[in-house]
Structure 1
């Protein structure tokens, strides 16, 4: 009958053998990712040519000073408002339905093209000319679109507003609205 193993001896590698194994693993990884490494080196070369690496090196070398300057610059009210406005603008751009906007932009482009072709003359347009031009289907369509656009601009958008900043104009309007409601003048 066999004897039970009571001691397990770990296979220990010498430092040289471990180094050889590690180098082999690194070499295999380099060969496996050759294309990605070559592209990365090419990008780094371009960054070196443009001076970006020097800039980044200086930036990280003086990181605390740069961060301190950036924080102080952002602490100014005008810069804070710029950041708020930028975020609000980005949020608003995200709400725009490009599919709805595209036909409108194409019409604006066609209008600009017509204006570019127009030769300026001494001829004046009178009131009757304006009324007669409404019979032209293209002008009539443009006027109708303009009226719809103006109606949309006149719509109450306060429920959709994302700004929480209470401006003096807004406070004045709210006070007027409350006064009108008290007096029963507001519908």
Structure 2
């Protein structure tokens, strides 16, 4: 009868065989991801051309120093307020209804164009000319729009305010005086 196997000896690959196996795995991965790798290389080339890669390398290489400078800069009250205001403004941009804003912006652009076309003169508009211009449909429409806008600006919006910090309390205190 045969003797029982007590030890299993694993087949160990030499260093050269391990390297060949890893090289084959890498080649297969390169072939499988060819388009992604080519696009990544294009992106890296553009970043190199624009000087972004050296900048990123410098930032990563000096990470602690850069982070220290950033923390010191944001520690100043005016910079903290600027960051807070920036975040608030970005949040407000999401609440703007662009479809309603576009016609108003187009009208403002047209008004600016007319002012630019108007030659700068010393001519003054008298009271009678002002009253006469109220009959002009364009002027009347503009005044109506401005009055509607002013009514909207005058509406109470406290219930919609997101910034309920100390600044709002200070404004309320000033308002009560």
TM-score over 0.5 (shorter chain): yes
Task: Report what 1:172 is aligned to.
Answer: 174
1:124 and 1:62, CA in 2 relative to 1: closer, same or farther beyond 3 A? closer
1:66 and 1:122, CA in 2 relative to 1: closer, same or farther beyond 3 A? closer
Task: Report what 2:159 is aligned to.
Answer: 159
Q: TM-score, normalised by structure 1?
A: 0.77
Task: Report what 1:57 is aligned to.
Answer: 57
Moved over 4 A (4+): 9-13, 15-18
Task: Report what 1:179 is aligned to.
Answer: none
State how far apart, in whole Å, the 1-side matches of 2:110 and 2:50 are: 41
CA offsets, 1:96-142, max 9 Å, x none?
11111011001101111111222234433211111111111111111
Where 1:150 maps in the other structure, the secondary structure is helix
Task: Report what 2:130 is aligned to.
Answer: 130
1:42 and 1:110, CA in 2 relative to 1: closer, same or farther beyond 3 A? same
Task: Report what 2:68 is aligned to.
Answer: 68
Structure 1 runs not aligned, ≥5 long = 1-5, 177-187
Q: How far 1:144 sits from its partner (Å)?
A: 0.4
Pairwise mapping of residues 1-187 of structure 1 onto structure 2 (< 5 A)?
A: 12=11, 14-15=13-14, 16-167=16-167, 168-174=170-176, 176=177
Task: Tell which has more relative contact order, 1 or 2 (C-alpha 8 A, sep 6+).
Answer: 1
State how far apart, in whole Å, the 1-side matches of 2:145 and 2:28 are: 66
CA offsets, 1:35-78, max 9 Å, x none?
33223223323333443323222222221222122112111111
1:10 and 1:133, CA in 2 relative to 1: closer, same or farther beyond 3 A? farther
1:91 and 1:29, CA in 2 relative to 1: closer, same or farther beyond 3 A? same
**What is the CA RMSD across the aligned residues, in angstroms?**
2.5
CA offsets, 1:135-168, max 9 Å, x none?
1111111110000001111111111122223344
Aligned length: 169
Q: TM-score, normalised by structure 2?
A: 0.81
